Every structure is written in C-alpha cells, then in structure tokens.
Amino acid sequence: MPQTLTVLLALSVSFVVVILRRFFDRRSLNYIRGPTASFLFGHILDITRQRQVGELDTKWNKEFGNAWRIRDCFGVWCSGDFLMLTDPKAIQHICQKSGYDYPKDNKLTNIARLTTGNGVLAAIGVCWDVGRHDHIRQRNVMTSSFTTSRLRQYVSMFQKTASKMVDTWKDELFSGSENALTIAMNHWLPRATLDIIGEAACSYEFGTLDNKDTELAEAYKNLFADSLMFPSKWDILFKATWNYLPIRLLQFVDYLPAREYRRFRSTVQIMNRVAKNIIDEKIREGTPSTKRDIVDLMLNANETLDSKQKLSRAELADQIATLVIAGHETTASTLNYILWELAKASQYQAKIRKEIRILRDAVAQRGDLEYTSEDLESMKYAVAVVKETLRLHPIVFHTTREAARDDVIPLSESIRSTTGELIKSIPVRKRQIVLLSFWGYNRLPDVWGEDADTWNPERFLESEATRTTNVGLYANLLTFSAGVRGCIGWRFAVLETLSFLVELLEHFEFSIPPEKPDIVRIATGGIMSPFIRDAMHLGPMMPLQVAPLRE
C-alpha cells in the first residue's frame, strides 16, 4: 500500500508540473506529418510494445520520409511532440556539427544516472546546465585510455579470455563424444565480456568464466532485461514527466520503492563500493601499477590537470561503473547477432576460417604467438561481417537529444508537410526533443542500397565512396553514435569482437538449432536483446548449434 501511494503521489505531482510547464512552453511541429497518436500515451506505449525493435521505425520511415513527428505521453493536451529522424544530414547536424547544442534530455540523462551513477554517460554538457563542464572534463580524462596504442595492449587480454572460453567449452561441454550441442550464447558471451571489462577497466576479477559468483557479477546479471523490459503503463507515464522536472529533483526517483529503482540503486551502490576501494588502493600504492588498466591511465591523466579539471574520487568511481555497464552487454549482444548471422551463412564462416589460417601462418613466421590489432583489422571478411552485423543489429537503436537553443535542422532528402509542401529543413524551438533512430538510419536504402534490410557483408567489401554524408564513428554506421557523445569504446569493442570471432571460428562450426527458434529483437531499456518469440519468459536467449572442428 505505501508503495502504491508513493508512486501515485509522485505521479500526481509530476503530472501537474508537466501540464504547467508545457502550457507556458509551447512548441509546435504540427506541420510535420506523423502517425495518429493515443490520447494518453502518445506513441510511447506503441514503441515499447512493438513486436520487435525497429518495426515501427521502418513503417513510419516508409510512410513519412526521413523525418516525422511522434507524440509523447499527454502529447495531445500539451503539444509534446518529438521529431523522429533517420535523415543522415539531420543526424550529422545534431551529433557532429552542433556538439553541446543538443545535450541529452532529462529522461535519458536520468536513466543513465540510475544505471551508471554520475559518470560520463550521465554527465550534462556545457550549454544546458550553465557552469557545469562535467562532460568535457570527464571525457577528457577518459579518452587517454582509448588511444590506438593503449588499445593494442588490450588485444592480448581479449584473445586470452576468448581462448579460455573455447577451452571451457571443450573441457566442460564437449568432453564426451558429443558431435554437436545447442549452446546458449547469451549465457557465455556476457560473462566473457564482463570478465574483460573488469580486467581492462580496473584489474577487477569478476571471474564469471571460472564460475566465481561475485556479488557484483550477480548484481549485473540480466540487469536491463529484468528491470526495463516492457515497462508498466504507470511507469511509462511517470517517466514521461521527467523531461519537465528539474534534473536535480529527479535524483529522488532512486528512493521509489518500485522493484526496478531498488535494483538499480543496489547495483550502483555495490559497484560504487567496489570501485572506491579499487581507487583507494591504487592511490595508496602511489605510482600506478605496471598493469596499466584504464583506471591507472585515468589517475595518471588526472594528475596532470589543474584542480578545476580534476575528477574527484567519486567521479572516478562512477567512470568504472559506466565502463562496466557500457562496455559488456553491448559487445556481448553484438557477438550474439554476429554468430547468429554466421550460423545462417556458413559460407562466410569458411571465408573467415581461410583468413585465419593465412594469418596464423604469418604470425607464426614472425615468431609471435598472438595477433596484433593490425592483424585482426586486416581480415577483410571478418571485418566486413562485423560491420554488416553492427549495421543490421544496432544494439543501442535509439537515442534522444534536446535542442539547447532555437535552430534549423537541415535534411538530405525533402519531406512533405501536412499541407503537401516539400520541406528541406526543419526549424525547431529551444527544448524541442529529437529522437534519433540509429536503427532507421542504418537501414536507409538511399545510403545502404535497395537490399538494406538484408544481411550482406559484401557491401563492405565494395567501395564506400558512394556514401556521401559522413555520419557515424565507424564505417559510417550510427551503431556507436557520433560526435561529442559518441561511444568512447568503439574500437575496444571492435577489436574485442574480432578476437572472439577468430577464436570461436577456428575451433567450432555454428549453425541454427534443428528446432529453429524464432529469434526476435526486444528492447531491454536502451539496448535490444535477442529473445525466443514463444519463450520470452526465459529472458534474453540466443541458442546456437555448435560442433567442434576436427583438425
């Protein structure tokens, strides 16, 4: 009872604030076409309840062009419209050219804060919250750990962990005479990537591949799927109010008695305690250990800064939480999809195996035991498969931004207004929220060709010169976003993915299990995960048939 009362009270107060703020802060995109909306939920319920991630984006994109209007909850009353975009020039303008003029909106910032603490993912840029330069400061310190030369050092760790997973499969799963087994990739890959990010970020041993059940590993298990999948109608309405509440007030949602908020609070608290201990130990040790993990490098970078730019101990701890969250399930989910696509296309497994053999010989001739990052990136089929899967299955499929000032957003393709006029740019008012569909952009036929909905790595073997607008961070994809808020760990993720691909394909053949599970993409918070359509209760699932390769 007290739980329901608290939620109702929070909802009522928020609702009144929303109505008042929206009344005095009207903005209108009425001349932009868009689908008809529900009176209370706008399109938000439709988006969270669609059969699969991306279905509505594709439908609306086909109907309205690369820019359209959707409604927020309570939108009919308060003209709470979002501008939804897949247009390359518009997204380039928002992410790359405007930088901090399009910070994250309050709702996204608060979800990032709930899941990672006050790290870089939740930090606000300079324009929006005047006087706070948190994002620039934090990103400054972090980027020193992700330079090309630093990343080379992580490649050895990726290969060791991937090889450990392969050995565990051989010893534990294929120790008998089994020829082929169905293995749940979702059970193994997040554990391997969690072990890696723990070691790379702060030399923390999650040990999940060794079945060490640390408190922290347990806290992260299915965190997003358990907490953010299919939010209740109440929660959708409640979160819709967040963009109209002061960001500092939103910190109190942590104390709501609902399950999801309790789970996030306890996970961040556990992570914070562990992270602070790690930092204290490193500071006590004085000079950074020879291991040189990301925290060592951040501490080093921090020391060179003046006191205004330095990150505090609490801020450093929050970056660890951010790296762990941002850097393990994303990569694991991408690997799930890569192996799934390869299981359907055995000819690409054969092509990559051929590349691996050539590379192994070259590495042996050099007298080395491991690949370098350059070796991995020279494998043209493996790289094309990774790019194509990142394109078709962008794990972070949407993001939102809010205009910090009045602006005009240019479009590469004209759209038709409600009166039939062709529009080549869209004027927006300060506080306009834009919803960027990474999913939609990654599948635009104008950019990727008529077969944009099909998995075809060959497109990345051909010249990429035809793609005119330079949008994304990697291969012109938006999977890692772009600009000042683009993914810090994109190259880390690509090298980690390639390392796993090489190890796994060298030892195993992957195929679709005989029962042919119907895999669907379901939103689990800000990321999407694979589920089996008729067995959603099992949580994220990617079963694949795996057969050892006999040399």
**Strand 67-71's sheet: what is its strand order?**
67-71, 81-85, 433-437, 398-402
Residue closer to ligand HEM, measured from CB, 68 or 102 = 102
Distance CA 297, CA 49 (A): 43
Instruction: Find the binder of ligand HEM among 68, 204, 244, 492 (CB under 6 A).
Output: 492
Check residue 334 for interaction with ligand HEM (CB under 6 A). Answer: yes
| Among residues 14, 109, 163, 322, the one that binds ligand HEM under rule CB under 6 A | 322
- The dihedral of CA 25, 104, 127, 255: what is its sign? positive
Binding residue for ligand HEM (CB under 6 A) from 106, 442, 481, 529? Answer: 481
Which DSSP state fits 119? S
Does the protein bind ligand HEM through residue 487 (CB under 6 A)?
A: yes
Among 139, 160, 265, 467, contact with ligand HEM (rule: CB under 6 A): 139
Q: How far apart are CA 88 and CA 102, in angstroms?
A: 16
Alpha-helical (H) ranges within 256-414 are 259-285, 294-303, 313-344, 346-366, 373-377, 380-392
The three-point CA angle 43-49-50 to 5° equals 85
- Closest distance between ligand HEM and the C-beta of residue 323, in Å? 5
Q: Pick the binder of ligand HEM from 29, 120, 183, 504 (CB under 6 A).
A: 120
According to the annotation, is 202 in a ligand binding site?
no
**CB-CB contact of 504 with 162 (8 Å):** yes
Scan residues 358-397 and list those touching ligand HEM (CB under 6 A): 395-396
Nearer to ligand HEM, 282 or 391 (CB): 391
Q: Is the dihedral of CA 140, 144, 145, 149 positive or negative?
A: positive
Among 124, 488, 504, 522, binds ligand HEM (CB under 6 A): 488
Which two tokens mark 203? 């030399």
Instruction: Give first-to-last CA distance, the chain, whole Å.
Output: 64
Tokens found for residue 397: 């499929």
Torsion of CA 162, 166, 172, 178, to 10 degrees: 150
Q: Measured from the CB of residue 334, what is the shortest distance to ligand HEM in angstroms? A: 4
Question: Which residue lies nearer to ligand HEM by CB, 40 or 136?
Answer: 136
Residue type, 499: S
Q: Applying CB under 6 A, what is the total number of residues that bind ligand HEM?
A: 22
Q: Which residue, 65 or 440, has its beta carbon nearer to ligand HEM?
A: 440
Indicate whether 326 belongs to the interface with ligand HEM (CB under 6 A): yes
85 touching ligand HEM, by CB under 6 A: no
Q: Report the residue from 71, 485, 507, 521 that binds ligand HEM according to the rule CB under 6 A.
A: 485
Radius of gyration of the chain (CA): 23
Binding of ligand HEM by 18 (CB under 6 A): no
Whole-angstrom distance, CA of residue 367 vs CA of residue 52: 49
User: Closer CB to ligand HEM, residue 309 or residue 414?
Assistant: 309
Residue 420 burial (C-beta neighbours within 10 Å; 0-12, 13-18, 19+): exposed
Q: Is 128 in the site for ligand HEM (CB under 6 A)?
A: no
Mask: binding to ligand HEM, 439-478, rule CB under 6 A, as x and -?
A: ----------------------------------------
For position 501 contacting ligand HEM by CB under 6 A, the verdict is: no
Is 75:37 a contact under the CB 8 Å cutoff?
yes
Closer to ligand HEM by CB, 37 or 120: give it.
120
Task: Return binding residues.
Answer: 487
Q: Which residues bind ligand HEM (CB under 6 A)?
A: 120-121, 139, 322-323, 326-327, 330-331, 334, 395-396, 399, 479-481, 485, 487-489, 492-493
Binding residues for heme: 487
